[in-house]
């Protein structure tokens, strides 16, 4: 009888131990999965955003819902046609003031002549993020550099500085902070020369953008940009989209210096005419 009781106590202890191991493994796996979902961390414990990223959408053509349509040069067939796309604007509505809505329409009708992208000007924020070109984030504790392939544009996010913009810039003046695992970037100090897309959506020099980069997992970020411009819009509005890490071997930015491609457009009429 004593042997039976000892075997019973031994079996109970083994079962309890096994249950403890299973519970420990479950806790460990859950923690590991959560860590994987958050992605890698830097030495100071912040989400590691280093890498080459890209948006995969048609927002550069039009940030609102749009059907496929013919481009500005019918003779070139599908080369300049606009692909259909779902918009990235919350509610699919941009709250223009009446005069600005008319200006946007005029811009759209004269896109090929007026769009700053055609002239290889720096794309501005947030357009640089969803340009059909990759960009690279180089992350430090005091500064974060974002380098964009299009037009060799770049900007520095100042994580320590609180000063206002000293001037007006194509890419604005960026100040960042961390809200838990989200990088929040306050961008102001813009000029009025950039657009949001090829559909003519525009802003003034009063543009204020608040960006939020939130880690979804190691290879995906959620990007949000809240737009405020009291000179052009009746209220703030927001766009959002996922960003994808370029994971192919040797992913890197390549040179896309488009200035030589636009020189004829910009300066062709200034070329010195020679007598023949």
Is 25's pLDDT higher than 50? no
- Mark whether 149 and 170 lie in a shared domain: yes
- Which whole number is the average pLDDT over 2-17? 42
Check whether residue 81 and residue 26 sit in a common domain.
no
Number of domains in the chain: 2
* 44 within some domain: no
Same domain, 224 and 184: yes
* Whether residue 8 has pLDDT greater than 50: no
Q: Above 90 in pLDDT, residue 89?
A: yes
Per-residue pLDDT tens over the stretch 34-65: 343 456 888 889 999 999 999 999 999 999 99
Q: Which is more confidently placed, 232 or 11?
A: 232
Residues 25 and 59 in one domain: no
Q: Are residues 96 and 199 in the same domain?
A: yes
What do you get for the CA distance between the two ends of the chain, in Å?
A: 121
Q: Classify residue 45: in a domain, yes or no.
A: no
Residue predicted with more confidence, 269 or 200: 200
Residue 11 has pLDDT above 80, yes or no: no
Return the pLDDT at 266: 78
Q: What does each C-alpha distance from 104 to 25, 31, 124, 236 come to in angstroms?
A: 58, 50, 17, 17
198: containing domain: 51-266
- Does 105 fall in a domain? yes
Q: 20 and 129 share a domain?
A: no
Q: How confident is the model at residue 275 (pLDDT cuts 50, 70, 90)?
A: low
**274 found inside a domain:** no
- Whether residues 26 and 64 share a domain: the answer is no
More reliable by pLDDT, 270 or 139: 139
Q: How many of the other CB atoms lie within 10 Å of CB of 24?
A: 10
């Amino acid at each position: 009888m004593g042997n039976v009781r000892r075997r019973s106590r031994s079996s109970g202890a083994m079962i309890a131990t096994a249950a403890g191991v299973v519970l420990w493994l479950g806790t460990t796996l859950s923690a590991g999965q959560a860590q994987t979902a958050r992605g890698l961390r830097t030495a100071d414990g912040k989400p590691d955003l280093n890498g080459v990223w890209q948006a995969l959408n048609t927002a550069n053509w039009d940030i609102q819902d749009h059907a496929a349509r013919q481009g500005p040069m019918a003779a070139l067939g599908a080369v300049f046609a606009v692909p259909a796309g779902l918009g990235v604007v919350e509610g699919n509505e941009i709250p223009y003031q009446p005069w600005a809505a008319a200006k946007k329409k005029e811009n759209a009708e004269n896109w090929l002549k007026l769009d700053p992208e055609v002239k290889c000007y720096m794309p501005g924020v947030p357009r640089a993020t969803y340009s059909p070109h990759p960009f690279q984030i180089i992350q430090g504790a005091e500064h974060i550099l974002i380098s964009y392939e299009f037009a060799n544009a770049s900007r520095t996010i100042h994580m320590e500085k609180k000063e206002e913009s000293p001037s007006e810039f194509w890419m604005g003046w960026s100040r960042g902070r961390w809200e838990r695992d989200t990088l929040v970037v306050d961008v102001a100090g813009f000029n009025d020369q950039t657009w949001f897309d090829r559909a003519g959506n525009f802003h003034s020099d009063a543009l204020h953008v608040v960006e939020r980069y939130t880690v979804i997992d190691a290879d995906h970020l959620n990007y949000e940009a809240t737009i405020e411009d009291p000179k052009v819009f009746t209220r703030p509005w927001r766009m959002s989209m996922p960003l994808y890490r370029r994971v192919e071997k040797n992913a890197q930015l390549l040179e896309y210096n488009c200035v030589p491609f636009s020189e004829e457009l910009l300066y062709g009429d200034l070329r010195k005419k020679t007598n023949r």
